[in-house]
């Protein structure tokens, strides 16, 4: 009984006080309870894909948002995971449950390689150079098409599980675990170092941070997560094709990341959960089905004009305020900070009045 | 085969140079990584096709109209979409990606996804040093050379060019010296997109026109620009020739070369970046941490 009361108190004091945390909790519960409530196969399929892409988008954010290594070729890791897992399970007959980890490991090696090659590059140079890697891989795949299946890829892979519900749970639970893990990593001391590297690499190095080591680690971690997503994707669709390496996928993840709000982890995940089902849903209408990519691009453009920092920071600023004294976040309806008791709204109004008089 | 390599490399290099120099200019002046750059090239090719084949205008009027309308469209897009989010680098980036997707989908919707052929406007060819060059490819070369000279003239011999170079060098100081940096940026957008549009119009009869024709040159153009050094015009020109020739050699001299040409070109870019992270002619942006 004590434990239950304690858990309830934790929940009320730590989660329900903040609208953003409440939203996240509601989202997790809804995600896990969905098959029991509404087990439509089509909806499950869309959400399984959404979860896989959410892992991919979150891994991009760790690399691009936190560390500032804006990767234009993130599809390389996705494709490396997909192809490794597909080749191993197809040619060697190993169970997908093992090959997915192998896919993530090979993607991690690719992450090290790309990270090593790009250590000295900065800013736009890095973005444009990373764009090249998946295309080099794509050229090699086409040139050795007996091995890789060429344009068609490797099809007829083994399924992970037999029912749509089980597939959904595999994807959604791995998504929750990986995204939460990435978020914890980004929120730790490690994440603070990443912020420092993004904001000023020279200053970070001058402060005694081994920036190459950190950058390599981040490349490897992000690549492993993306490779895991790619391997899941290959076994879910039962095909690993060249589309996993295309520029379109690399750009897609950049759009998701920036649309959701960079350096948040949850932002890109939210963006995938909004944009991917939206485009699929638009595709079901006969009248606009052909125009879905167009509508997608227009929505992204319009949202950006109003929220240039991305969706989640904008929403968060609307529903929460930051305490001017202790920098903790509070629900927007509070008059005083929930932790230190400093006045919230009065101070803001006063500051605005001061600015107005200047 | 050697002659084929020489001619193809030069022609492709010329087209790439037109694209890469425009991209470099706009990056240098406004720090915009314009992913939609080659989408304007695609739009110009479609516009040219519509005016020449559908509307039945002559070769020269349709070319001029196509370039002018695409340039105008680019300036409008810049004012409406890019300028409001200029302070947010990431937003600018995906705004240009979104623009490119919008153009691609619009063309897909209005012209369909199949390849469109534009009848060659110049028949016949010349033989130089035993190599026969069709007039159409000669035209690409001549236009590319003329445009590059014109750009050089504008940049190094006019007041606008001085303003563009000054803004590229240091935006704040240029602004303090009384230059209207917004107007300079807009003029740069116009020049840069006009170059891409001209490239689109001249290659349309030689290559096929389809809504996805912007992707392959985009990647090559980015490789060239990085290879030559971001923002460096000389670098872009030399990079374009290097990549043009490398692609030609790969296609003609290697087995499965058509698949590997992109990979080899991009591989060369990576090797150059390993040796010189700022590209061949780039300046190290040490102060721009």
Q: How big is the CA angle at B99 (ends A287 and B172), to the nearest 5 degrees?
A: 160
How close is the nearest chain B Cα to the Cα of A204, in Å? 12
Q: What is the pLDDT of residue A358?
A: 36
Q: What is the pLDDT of residue B283?
A: 66
A212, A349: one domain: no
In which domain, by residue range, is A331 found? 323-358
A1 located within any domain: no
Cβ of residue B213 closer than 8 Å to a chain A Cβ: no
**Could you tell me the two tokens for B54?**
């559908």
Burial A162-177 (b: 16+ CB within 10 A, else e): eebbebbbbbbebbbe
- Which residues from chain A sit within 8 angstroms of residue B88, using beta carbons? 308-309
Q: What average pLDDT does chain B have?
A: 87
Question: Would you put residue B269 in left (φ > 0), alpha (ψ -120 to 50) or beta?
Answer: alpha
A142, A165: one domain: yes
A165, A233: one domain: yes
Cβ of residue B268 closer than 8 Å to a chain A Cβ: no
- 358 residues of chain A, pLDDT tens digit each: 889 999 999 888 888 888 889 999 999 999 999 888 887 888 999 999 999 999 999 999 999 999 989 999 999 999 999 999 999 998 888 888 999 999 999 999 999 999 998 888 888 888 888 988 998 898 888 888 888 888 888 888 888 888 888 999 999 999 999 999 999 999 999 999 999 999 999 999 999 999 999 999 999 999 999 999 999 999 999 999 898 998 889 999 999 999 999 889 999 999 999 999 998 888 888 777 677 888 888 888 888 888 888 899 999 888 888 888 888 888 888 888 888 888 876 555 545 544 444 3
Q: Please, which residues 299-358 of chain A have a Cβ atom closer than 8 Å to chain B?
A: 300-301, 304-305, 308-310
Residue in A with minimal Cα distance to B94: A255
Q: Which of B226, B259, B269 sits opposite A142 (nearest CB)?
A: B259
**Could you tell me the two tokens for B176?**
């303090």
- Which residues lie across from B116 on neighbouring strands? B209
Q: What is the CATH number of the domain that holds A313?
A: 1.10.3470
Query: Model confidence over B197-208: pLDDT tens digits?
Result: 999 999 888 888
- Which residues from chain B sit within 8 angstroms of residue A243, using beta carbons? none
Q: Please, which residues 36-75 of chain B have a Cβ atom closer than 8 Å to chain A?
A: none
A349, A247: one domain: no
How many domains is chain A partitioned into structurally?
2
Across B10-27, average pLDDT: 92
A66, A198: one domain: yes
A339, A195: one domain: no
A327, A181: one domain: no
Look at B101 and A296 and tell me if their CB atoms are within 8 Å. yes
How close is the nearest chain B Cα to the Cα of A244, in Å? 16
Q: What is the pLDDT of residue B121?
A: 67
A127, A271: one domain: yes
Q: What is the pLDDT of residue A132?
A: 87
A342 located within any domain: yes
Pairs of residues, one from chain A and one from chain B, whose beta carbons lie less than 8 Å apart? 134
How close is the nearest chain B Cα to the Cα of A241, in Å? 16
ipTM for the complex shown: 0.84
A6 located within any domain: no
Q: What is the pLDDT of residue B117?
A: 79
Q: Please, which residues 218-237 of chain B have a Cβ atom closer than 8 Å to chain A?
A: 218-219, 222-223, 225-226, 230
A28, A121: one domain: yes
Look at B33 and A262 and tell me if their CB atoms are within 8 Å. no
Q: Please, which residues 100-119 of chain A have a Cβ atom closer than 8 Å to chain B?
A: 117
Q: What is the pLDDT of residue B237?
A: 92
A13 located within any domain: no
As a whole number of angstroms, the distance between CA A338 and CA A332 comes to 11
Q: What is the pLDDT of residue A288?
A: 72
Q: Please, which residues 127-156 of chain B have a Cβ atom closer than 8 Å to chain A?
A: none
Q: What is the pLDDT of residue A357?
A: 41
A9 located within any domain: no
Q: What is the pLDDT of residue B148?
A: 92
Q: Please, which residues 136-155 of chain A have a Cβ atom closer than 8 Å to chain B?
A: 136, 138-140, 142-143
Cβ of residue A10 closer than 8 Å to a chain B Cβ: no
Across B40-67, average pLDDT: 91
Query: Model confidence over B149-185: pLDDT tens digits?
Result: 999 999 999 999 999 999 988 888 999 999 998 999 9
A232, A342: one domain: no
- Which residues from chain A sit within 8 angstroms of residue B269, using beta carbons? 129, 132
Environment class of residue A205 by beta-carbon count within 10 Å: exposed (0-12), middle (13-18) or buried (19+)? middle
Name the helix (H) or strand (E) containing A331.
Answer: strand A329-331
Look at B94 and A262 and tell me if their CB atoms are within 8 Å. no
A3 located within any domain: no
Look at B223 and A297 and tell me if their CB atoms are within 8 Å. no
How close is the nearest chain B Cα to the Cα of A35, in Å? 34
Q: Which of A128, A305, A310 sits opposite B226 (nearest CB)?
A: A128
Cβ of residue A82 closer than 8 Å to a chain B Cβ: no
Q: What is the pLDDT of residue A285?
A: 80
A243, A257: one domain: yes
pTM of the model: 0.89
How close is the nearest chain B Cα to the Cα of A197, in Å? 11
Beta carbons of B235 and B278 less than 8 angstroms apart: no
A32, A82: one domain: yes
- Which residues from chain A sit within 8 angstroms of residue B223, using beta carbons? 128, 132
**Could you tell me the two tokens for A318?**
């609307």
Q: What is the pLDDT of residue A343?
A: 82
HEC per residue, chain B = CHHHHHHHHHHHHHHHHHHHHHHHHHHHHHCCCCCCHHHHHHHHHHHHHHHHHHCCCCHHHHHHHHHHHHHHHHHHHHHHHHHHHCCCHHHHHHHHHHHHHHHHHHHHHHHCCCCECCCCCCCCEEEECCEEEEHHHHHHHHHHHHHHHHHHHHHHHCHHHHHHHHHHHCHHHHHHCCCCHHHHHHHHHHHHHHHHHHHHHHHCCCCCECCCCCHHHHHHHHHHHHHHCCCCHHHHHHHHHHHHHHHHHHHHHCCCHHHHHHHHHHHHHHHHHHHCCCCCCCCCCCCCC
Q: Suggest the residue from A60, A113, A132, A143 to mutate for an interface test with chain B (most B CBs closer than 10 A).
A: A132
A7 located within any domain: no
Q: What is the pLDDT of residue A159?
A: 84
Q: Examine the pLDDT at B245 and tell me if it is beyond 80.
A: yes
Q: Which of A121, A140, A310 sits opposite B273 (nearest CB)?
A: A121
């Amino acid at each position: 009984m004590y434990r239950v009361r304690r858990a309830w108190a934790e929940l009320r004091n730590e989660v329900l006080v903040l609208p953003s945390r409440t939203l996240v909790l509601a989202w997790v519960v809804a995600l896990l309870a969905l098959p029991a409530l509404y087990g439509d196969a089509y909806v499950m399929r869309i959400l399984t894909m959404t979860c896989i892409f959410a892992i991919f988008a979150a891994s991009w954010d760790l690399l691009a948002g936190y560390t500032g290594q804006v990767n234009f070729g993130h599809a390389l890791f996705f494709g490396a995971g997909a192809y490794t897992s597909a080749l191993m399970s197809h040619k060697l007959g190993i169970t997908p449950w093992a090959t997915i980890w192998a896919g993530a490991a090979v993607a991690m090696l690719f992450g090290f390689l790309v990270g090593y090659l790009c250590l000295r590059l900065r800013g736009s140079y890095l973005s444009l150079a990373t764009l090249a890697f998946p295309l080099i891989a794509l050229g090699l795949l086409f040139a050795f098409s007996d091995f890789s299946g060429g344009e068609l890829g490797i099809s007829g892979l083994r399924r992970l599980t037999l029912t749509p519900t089980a597939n959904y749970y595999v994807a959604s639970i791995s998504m929750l675990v990986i995204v939460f893990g990435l978020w914890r990593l980004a929120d730790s001391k490690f994440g603070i170092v990443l912020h420092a590297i993004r904001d000023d690499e020279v200053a970070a190095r001058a402060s005694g941070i081994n920036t190459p080591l950190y950058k390599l680690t981040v490349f490897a971690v992000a690549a492993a997560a993306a490779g895991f997503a790619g391997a899941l994707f290959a076994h879910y669709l039962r095909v690993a094709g060249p589309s996993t390496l295309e520029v379109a996928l690399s750009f897609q993840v950049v759009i998701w990341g920036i649309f959701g709000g960079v350096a948040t982890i949850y932002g890109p995940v939210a963006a995938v959960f909004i944009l991917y089902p939206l485009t699929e849903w638009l595709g079901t209408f006969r009248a606009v089905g052909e125009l879905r990519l167009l509508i997608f691009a227009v929505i992204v453009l319009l949202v950006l004009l109003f929220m240039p920092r991305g969706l989640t920071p904008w929403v968060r600023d609307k529903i929460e305020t930051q305490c001017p004294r202790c920098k903790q976040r509070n629900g927007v309806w509070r008059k005083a900070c929930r932790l230190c008791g400093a006045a919230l709204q009065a101070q803001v109004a006063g500051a605005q009045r001061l600015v107005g008089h200047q | 085969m050697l002659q084929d390599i020489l001619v193809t490399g030069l022609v492709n290099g010329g087209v790439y140079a037109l694209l890469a120099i425009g991209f470099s200019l706009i990056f240098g002046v406004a720090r915009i990584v314009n992913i939609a750059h080659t989408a304007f090239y695609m739009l110009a090719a479609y516009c040219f096709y519509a005016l020449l084949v559908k509307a039945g205008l002559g070769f020269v009027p349709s070319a001029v109209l196509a370039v002018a309308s695409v340039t105008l469209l680019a300036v409008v897009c810049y004012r409406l979409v890019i300028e409001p989010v200029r302070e947010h680098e990431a937003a600018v980036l995906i705004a240009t990606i979104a623009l490119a997707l919008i153009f691609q989908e619009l063309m897909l919707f209005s012209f369909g996804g199949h390849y469109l052929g534009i009848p060659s406007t110049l028949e016949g060819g010349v033989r130089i040093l035993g190599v026969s060059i069709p007039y159409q490819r000669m035209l690409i070369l001549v236009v590319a050379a003329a445009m590059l000279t014109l750009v050089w003239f504008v940049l190094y011999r006019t007041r606008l060019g001085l303003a563009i170079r000054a803004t590229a060098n240091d935006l704040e100081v240029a602004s303090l010296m009384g230059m209207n940096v917004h107007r300079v940026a807009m003029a740069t957008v116009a020049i840069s997109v006009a170059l891409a549009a001209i490239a689109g119009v001249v290659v349309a009869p030689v290559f096929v026109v389809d809504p996805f024709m912007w992707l392959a040159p985009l990647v090559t153009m980015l490789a060239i620009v990085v290879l030559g050094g971001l923002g460096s015009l000389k670098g872009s020109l030399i990079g374009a020739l290097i990549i043009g020739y490398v692609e030609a050699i790969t296609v003609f001299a290697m087995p499965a070369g058509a698949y590997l040409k992109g990979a080899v070109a991009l591989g060369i870019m990576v090797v150059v970046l390993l040796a010189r992270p700022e590209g061949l002619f780039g300046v190290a942006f040490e102060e721009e941490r």
